[in-house]
Amino acid sequence: MPRQDNYTGEEFEGYKLTDTDHEYSKTYLRKGIQMVTSMTKRHSKVLQTRMDFRYPQSYQSDGTNEDFSTALKTFSKELSRKKYDPQYIARREQKKSTNPHLHVNMIVNGNKKRCRASMVESAEKHWANTLGIPVEEVHENQLVYPCNKDPEGNPRPNGYMIDRNKPDFKEMKNNAIRQMSYLAKKRPDDTTPSHIRKFFTSQFQKDYDLAMEHKQNWIEKNIKNR
């Protein structure tokens, strides 16, 4: 990523960033903002959930992103079958551990899905299936960590419900983008090899454009022809 993509500051395009002083990627900050904005245009309620995918201590990954990609794909397929319109941003990171971990920010249609705890439970199932281990092991060891505590162990929200029709809409949207900005930070201590992809995002704009096309076709068919 070129140096002109680097950004340091407390706010970006009018949105507050995470408390910790980080250097961010402008590209990924914009993708996060665009994703949340796109979803709030599509749905009057949007549920955001933060979680991390982690390997068991005794497990040795192959160093690629195949496990992460598989889990994200099957998790998203399940949510899509339920008409939740899943969109995500995720970032791989590796520091002292011999295995990488994956920060995930999943957002869905909040009119159909309202429980963040059950979102994490679904992710546990897909991560367990990917690794070929019991889901009980994933749950007991928090291998899908719900990101509900700060570094000092104090409780914190692992996501937000953004309701377009409530007075706190802007506040909740700002909170969601602020939480998502953590995934756009650059870490000098990240040991991920340069040839390994670090950032993943769903095709939210393509999905939005397709949904708008279907909506317009429905209008032309059912209203204009009356």
Mean pLDDT, the chain, whole residue set: 91
pLDDT in tens, 4-24: 899 999 999 999 998 767 899
Number of domains in the chain: 1
pLDDT in tens, 28-66: 999 999 999 999 999 999 999 999 999 999 899 999 999
pLDDT in tens, 158-167: 999 999 999 9
Four-residue CA torsion sign, 169, 171, 176, 177: positive
Full-model pTM: 0.88
Four-residue CA torsion sign, 133, 139, 144, 145: negative
Range of the domain at 217: 3-222
CA dist 190 and 96 (Å) reads 9
Burial class (CB in 10 A: 0-12, 13-18, 19+), 21: exposed
Hunting for tokens 């899509």 — which residue is that? 80
β strands within 43-150, DSSP E = 45-53, 87-93, 101-109, 144-145
Cα angle 100, 145, 153; round to 5: 110
Using CA atoms, how far residue 105 sits from 38, 159, 225, in Å, is 15, 9, 42
Cβ(162)–Cβ(44) below 8 Å: no
Hunting for tokens 């949510």 — which residue is that? 79
Better pLDDT: 202 or 216: 202
Q: Per this entry, what is the length of the chain?
A: 226
Q: Is the pLDDT of residue 77 over 80?
A: yes
Encoded tokens for 77:
């397929």
CA dist 222 and 226 (Å) reads 7
